[in-house]
Amino acid sequence: MNNSDHWQFLIDFDQQHIWHPYSSSPNPIPPIGVKKTQGSLITLADNQEVVDGMSSWWAAIHGYNHPTVMQAMKDQIDQMPHIMFGGLTHEPAIELAKRLIKLTPAGLDKVFFADSGSVSMEVAIKIALQYWISKDRPVKNKMLSIRNGYHGDTFATMAVCDPVNGMHHLFNDVLRKSIFAPAPQMGFDIQSDNSDIEELEAILKDHHHEIAALTLEPIVQGAGGMRFYRPAYLQAVRELCTKYDVLMIADEIATGFGRTGKLFACEWAEITPDIMTIGKALTGGNLTMAAMLCTDEISNTICQGEPGVLMHGPTFMANPLACATAIASIDVLINSPWQDNIANIEQHLKTELSPLSELEGVKDVRVLGAIGVIELERNDLGPQIQAACLENGAWIRPFGKLIYTMPAFNIPAGELLQLTDAVKQAVKTVLEESL
Ligand SMILES: *Cc1c(COP(=O)(O)O)cnc(C)c1O
C-alpha cells in the first residue's frame, strides 16, 4: 500500500470510531494525519513539513522532542514509570513540588498533583468548598466567576465557564448555579473607568455570605474569547476577595510558565491567590499533568476540620514519569533566556500581525507575550483560514472569530516568520474572497 492509501485507510477508521475534541463522528472536516514532530515543525501524513503555531494548545513551550526533556523521560522510564501515590512517595514528586513552591507566587506552599487541567480545577473548587465546611460556614458554597471565563469540561468546571459562550450552555439546567460578574474590560494597557470592578464589588457586597470562592484566569481569558485585561483589575480582585472573605482561585492553566511574559500571570499584579491551578505547559506538552497549589492556611483549616482530609486522590496522582518530565521542562525553561525569547516573539507578532487590523472584516488584533490574536467580524471563516494557512506551511486552529497563535518560546526566527507570513496571507486571501 502506498503512503497515501495507507493514510486514507487510517483516516477512514478514525472517522468511523474515534472522538476528537469538540467533534462529531465522523467529522465534516476529517482530521489531518501527523507522522512526527521536531522542534517547531510537524510532519504531516503527506510528508509536508509545517510550522506549529499552536504549541499543542499552550503546552509545547520548548517545541517538540526537546533533547533534554526526552533524555529525562527515557531515564525515568528505566527507573520507575509509575507507582501509586497512596502511602508512598518518590523523588520526582518531591523535586517537582520544590520547584513549583519556589516559582509560584509566595505563600502557595501546598501542592496537589492531578492528571489534567479540568481535574486540578475540580480539586480547587472542592478544596474551596471544604474550607468553608471546615470553618463551620457551609452556606458559603457558591462559586463566583467572571464572564468569558473558561475553566474546563468536567461538571464543576462547566458551572464556572461562561454560561453563554462557554461551550457548555446545553447543560445549564443540570449544573450547579454559579454567580457571574461581568467580564473585565478588554485591554492590557488601557486607562479604565473601573466600572467593571465596581460591578464586581456590588455582587460581592450582596452575595459574599454565600460565596466560597471566585474563579478567574489572570490577565488572559483563553478559550472564552482570548481577551487580555489590565493588571489593576486583577489587583482589585485580590483586594475585594480579602475584604469580603471569599477565596481567590487563579486558573493559570493556560497562562502559566511564561506565556504572557511573566512566569505566572499573577505576577503582573504582584498578587498571591489563595488557590492556583497549573497544567498545559507544566510538562512542556509531553505528558498530561496538572497541579493545584494552595496556602498553608487553607490546608491547615481543612486538616483541622472534619473529616480532616482532602477528599480527592486520582489513581495516577503524581505519576513519576510525568513529574520527571515536568522537572526537566521547568529546568529547561528557567535555564533559557525565556524573557528575551518571549519579548522577541511579542515584538515580531506586533510588527507582523498589527497591520491586519486595517483590513475590512478584522475587528481587532492584539498581542501579549507569546500570544497573537486576530479577531474577525465573522465567525465562520476559521476552517478556510486554517486550510489556507496549512497550504502556506503553518498549522493553526482557529476558534470561531478568533485566529490565534502561540508558538514555542524557542521557535527559530525563520520559522516564526514563516508562521506569521502564512497567517497574514491566509487571513487576507480568505477575507477578500468572503467580501
Ligand atoms: C485548557 C484549560 C483548562 C482545562 O484543562 P484540560 O487539561 O483541558 O482539562 C482549564 N482552564 C484553562 C484556563 C484552560 O486553558
User: Is the CB–ligand 1 distance for residue 56 below 6 Å?
Assistant: no
- Taking 90 as the threshold, does the pLDDT of residue 364 lie above it? yes
User: Is the CB–ligand 1 distance for residue 333 below 6 Å?
Assistant: no
Among this protein's residues, is 233 annotated catalytic? no
Q: Return the ∠ at Cα 6 (arms to 4 and 8), rounded to 5°.
A: 70
Q: How far is the CA of 222 from the centre of ligand 1 (A)?
A: 9
Q: What is the pLDDT of residues 293-345, one digit of tens each?
A: 999 999 999 999 988 999 899 999 999 999 999 999 999 999 999 999 999 99
Q: Range of 89's domain? A: 68-334
Nearest atom of ligand 1 to the alpha carbon of 251: 13
- Taking 80 as the threshold, does the pLDDT of residue 354 lie above it? yes
Single residue among 303, 334, 365 that ends a domain in this structure: 334
270 falls within a domain: yes
User: Is the CB–ligand 1 distance for residue 226 below 6 Å?
Assistant: no
Q: What is the DSSP letter of 431?
A: H
pLDDT-derived band at 166 (thresholds 50, 70, 90) equals low
- The CATH number assigned to the domain holding 405 equals 3.90.1150.10
Is residue 305 located within the same domain as residue 190?
yes
The answer to whether 380 and 425 are in contact (CB under 8 A) is no
CA distances, 404 to each of 6, 54, 144, 278, 359 (Å): 32, 8, 28, 21, 16
Give the pLDDT mean for 243-251: 98
- The CATH number assigned to the domain holding 328 equals 3.40.640.10
- Taking 90 as the threshold, does the pLDDT of residue 410 lie above it? yes
- Measured CA to CA, the distance from residue 29 to residue 9 in angstroms comes to 16
pTM to 2 decimal places:
0.98
| Peptide bond before residue 307 is cis, with ω within 30 degrees of 0 | yes
**pLDDT confidence of residue 172:** 82
- Taking 80 as the threshold, does the pLDDT of residue 169 lie above it? no
Is residue 92 located within the same domain as residue 52?
no
Q: Which of 110, 142, 262, 280 is catalytic?
A: 280
**pLDDT confidence of residue 192:** 97
227 falls within a domain: yes
The answer to whether 345 and 370 are in contact (CB under 8 A) is yes
Nearest CA to ligand 1 atom 8: 117
User: Is the CB–ligand 1 distance for residue 279 below 6 Å?
Assistant: yes
Give the pLDDT mean for 361-376: 98
According to DSSP, the β-strands at 247-251 and 211-216 are parallel
Residue 306 or residue 225, greater confidence: 225
Give, for ligand 1, the residue of 22, 115, 118 to mutate: max count of ligand atoms closer than 8 Å to Cβ: 118
- Taking 70 as the threshold, does the pLDDT of residue 136 lie above it? yes
- Measured CA to CA, the distance from residue 389 to residue 397 in angstroms comes to 10
Give, for ligand 1, the residue of 275, 280, 289, 406 to mutate: max count of ligand atoms closer than 8 Å to Cβ: 280
284 falls within a domain: yes
Is residue 326 located within the same domain as residue 347?
no
- Taking 90 as the threshold, does the pLDDT of residue 154 lie above it? yes
Single residue among 299, 334, 369 that ends a domain in this structure: 334
Query: Amino acid identity, residue 94?
Result: I
Q: Which of 64, 131, 150, 244 is catalytic?
A: 150
Is residue 213 located within the same domain as residue 328?
yes
Query: Amino acid identity, residue 253?
Result: I
Among this protein's residues, is 64 annotated catalytic? no
- Taking 80 as the threshold, does the pLDDT of residue 168 lie above it? no
pLDDT-derived band at 163 (thresholds 50, 70, 90) equals confident
User: Is the CB–ligand 1 distance for residue 222 below 6 Å?
Assistant: yes
- Measured CA to CA, the distance from residue 406 to residue 104 in angstroms comes to 22
Q: Determine if residue 62 is left, alpha or beta; phi over 0 gives left, psi from -120 to 50 gives alpha, anything else beta.
A: alpha
pLDDT-derived band at 176 (thresholds 50, 70, 90) equals very high
Is residue 214 located within the same domain as residue 280?
yes
Give the pLDDT mean for 120-135: 97
Overall domain count for the chain: 2
Give the pLDDT mean for 260-282: 98
Q: How far is the CA of 430 from the centre of ligand 1 (A)?
A: 30
Nearest atom of ligand 1 to the alpha carbon of 121: 10
H/E element, 325 = helix 320-334
In terms of Cα–Cα distance, which of 419, 426, 304 is closest to 376? Answer: 426
Q: What is the DSSP letter of 46?
A: T
- Measured CA to CA, the distance from residue 278 to residue 149 in angstroms comes to 16
Q: How far is the CA of 22 from the centre of ligand 1 (A)?
A: 14
Give the pLDDT mean for 392-420: 97
229 falls within a domain: yes
9 falls within a domain: no
- Is residue 193 classed as helix, strand or coil in its secondary structure? coil
Nearest atom of ligand 1 to the alpha carbon of 223: 15
pLDDT-derived band at 106 (thresholds 50, 70, 90) equals very high
Among this protein's residues, is 22 annotated catalytic? yes
In the chain, % of residues over pLDDT 70: 100
Is residue 148 located within the same domain as residue 159?
yes
Give, for ligand 1, the residue of 22, 122, 151, 153 to mutate: max count of ligand atoms closer than 8 Å to Cβ: 151
Nearest atom of ligand 1 to the alpha carbon of 279: 7
pLDDT-derived band at 215 (thresholds 50, 70, 90) equals very high
The answer to whether 228 and 367 are in contact (CB under 8 A) is no
Give the pLDDT mean for 257-286: 98
Is residue 176 located within the same domain as residue 283?
yes
C-alpha cell at 34: 501527523
Q: What is the pLDDT of residues 38-70, one digit of tens each?
A: 999 999 999 999 999 999 999 999 999 999 999
CA distances, 167 to each of 110, 229, 290 (Å): 32, 22, 22
Is residue 318 located within the same domain as residue 352?
no
383 falls within a domain: yes
Sheet hosting strand 49-52, strand order edge to edge: 34-38, 41-44, 49-52, 394-395
- Residue 194: count of CB within 10 angstroms of its CB: 15
Q: What is the pLDDT of residues 272-301, one digit of tens each?
A: 999 999 999 999 999 999 999 999 999 999
| Peptide bond before residue 26 is cis, with ω within 30 degrees of 0 | yes
User: Is the CB–ligand 1 distance for residue 268 below 6 Å?
Assistant: no
Beta bridge partners of 49: 43
Q: How far is the CA of 297 from the centre of ligand 1 (A)?
A: 26
Is residue 319 located within the same domain as residue 378?
no
Nearest atom of ligand 1 to the alpha carbon of 116: 7
Nearest CA to ligand 1 atom 10: 151
- Measured CA to CA, the distance from residue 432 to residue 360 in angstroms comes to 8
Q: How far is the CA of 151 from the centre of ligand 1 (A)?
A: 6
Q: How far is the CA of 425 from the centre of ligand 1 (A)?
A: 30
Q: Which of 251, 262, 404, 424 is catalytic?
A: 251
Give, for ligand 1, the residue of 20, 150, 277 to mutate: max count of ligand atoms closer than 8 Å to Cβ: 150
Single residue among 315, 334, 353 that ends a domain in this structure: 334
Among this protein's residues, is 280 annotated catalytic? yes
